[in-house]
Amino acid sequence: MFQKILIANRGEIALRVLRAAKELGIQTVAVHSTADAEAMHVRLADESVCIGPPASRDSYLNIHQIVAACEVTGADAIHPGYGFLSENAKFAEILAAHNITFIGPSAEHIRLMGDKIEAKRTAKRLGIPVVPGSEGAVREDRAAKKIAAEIGYPVLIKASAGGGGRGMKVARSEADLSEALSTARSEAGAAFGDDAVYIEKYLQKPRHIEVQVMGDGAGKAIHLGERDCSLQRRHQKVWEEAHSPALNAEERTRIGTIVSNAIADLGYSGAGTVEFLYENGEFYFIEMNTRLQVEHPVTEAITGIDLVHEQIRVASGGGLSATQDDVRFFGHAIECRINAEDPRTFVPSPGTITHFHTPGGLGVRVDSGVYTGYRIPPYYDSLIGKLIVHGRNRVECMMRLRRALDEFVVDGIKSTLPLFQELVGNVDVANGDYDIHWLENYLADHAADHK
Ligand code: ADP
């Protein structure tokens, strides 16, 4: 087991990892920018190192400084959290060269899944269902037209290096295709320095369903069920739940088994999420994230398995603590991502939190790095906390969520709490009846109510 882990992240996820390390009796090192000197992860860690000025590229993305912090403190492993360096294959390689363990998959697997065309090809080879579309990159308009005609319009043009929904364009008919291709190529080139694009069938009303997996790196893997993350705004997840209200036990086992077998075949190590769109009873692979996800707590709630403990165990060579047969699902869990943003315009609202009170009681978990008097710096993402609620079934979970939201107080800044208070009372949400466009449509329809 490791003696000391450096956490190359900030905010709630840095605290999340720190807690898991403490439980395992491992020393922790926090790193922070000058803007985060007062942050909770810095206060709670055994040691901390300032790694640079506020801008992420100079601090949380500064590989040189992070490796130096490891060497100064004698940390033998790094947990990257999510975002920042968590899916940076080069970072994993540099750590290996310095004899520091990267708590995550191999650089090779990060690279493979980071290239969407390669990831899709690999998924298909491993027996995972994919969205119908081009085999690889599409370079010429003529070839694009042929493929689009075969799969049928509308089609979606996606960037191979894509992320965050950038470089994606829908073409509704052949007349739109050339323009959509050239816009997607130039957006992708500008954003990622790689203008390779590919074509997929555009699904009209899918749900976003993702499967959580853990591999031991030696050919064994388990799945921990799925999460439904269909409630999104601009491709950003807002509300996540486990299980999906749309799946039955047979579908869950079927897709879970396909994915865990594929991950085992790959020799994958650590936590991963295989993301699908789900429509009319069919799953379509869209991408794999080779890291811990923001929404991992809903899976922890329904399985009782601490995913960060598992990541640390696997990275230290201790294998997985559970077999597939040990994984049991219990009840229902929902997570709300509470952001420091205006609940209607979503404009960030940094500043000082004058009062912060979190709900408690049975089945309520809050993962947050903020506190009363904390000043939210304007440099990073606007997530201030995640409220995760668990109940014996979805109805109980929703009742508890409504109560927990009522108790939650965030004063001094704007937050998205009021949006969740609305959603928890909505009939479609109560019925679990939504697709990936539902929230955008809801916000557009209700924009006038809040003028
Ligand atoms: P990124 O890595 O840029 O986030 P993804 O491939 O994960 O890209 O897709 C992001 C979102 O775009 C999905 O959650 C979904 O809302 C939408 N999307 C992706 N592929 C399709 C598709 N073939 N049809 C319809 N919507 C899609």
Question: How many A from CA of 352 to the centre of ligand 1?
Answer: 35
Q: Does a cis peptide bond (omega within 30 degrees of 0) precede residue 154?
A: yes
Sign of CA dihedral 195, 107, 124, 121: positive
Position 165 pLDDT exceeds 80: no
- Token match 């400084």: residue? 65
**What is the model's pLDDT at position 373?**
97
Is 291 a known active-site residue?
yes
pLDDT tens track for 326-354: 999 999 999 999 999 999 999 999 999 99
Give the tens place of pLDDT for each residue, 83-124: 999 999 999 999 999 999 999 999 999 999 999 999 999 999
Q: Where are the domains of the chain?
A: 4-94, 132-201, 207-449
Whole-number Å distance between alpha carbons of 246 and 310? 28
> How many angstroms does the Cα of residue 165 sit away from the middle of ligand 1?
7
Residue 322, CB half-sphere, CA atoms under 13 Å: how many? 18
Task: Kindly tell me if the per-residue pLDDT of 445 is higher than 80.
Answer: yes
Residue-level length of the chain: 451
Percent pLDDT > 70 in the chain is: 99
**Considering the chain, what percentage of its residues have pLDDT values greater than 90?**
96
Give yes or no for residue 277 CB within 6 A of ligand 1.
yes
Is the domain spanning 207-449 CATH 1.10.760.10? The answer is no
Beta bridge partners of 31: 49
Q: Give the confidence band of 163 by pLDDT, cuts at 50, 70, 90.
A: confident
Report the nearest-CA residue for atom 19 of ligand 1.
Answer: 286
Burial of 175 (0-12, 13-18, 19+ CB in 10 A): exposed
For the CA atoms of 34, 38, 44, 47, the dihedral, rounded to the nearest 10 degrees, stands at 30
- Return the CATH architecture of domain 4-94: 3-Layer(aba) Sandwich (3.40)
pLDDT of residue 450: 60
Distances 79 to 2, 12, 319, 366 between C-alpha atoms, Å: 12, 14, 17, 21
Q: Is 278 in the pocket of ligand 1 (CB under 6 A)?
A: no
- Please give the CATH architecture assigned to the domain spanning 132-201: 2-Layer Sandwich (3.30)
SS3 28: strand
Nearest atom, ligand 1, residue 116 CA:
6
Of these residues, 16, 111, 291, 394, which one is catalytic? 291
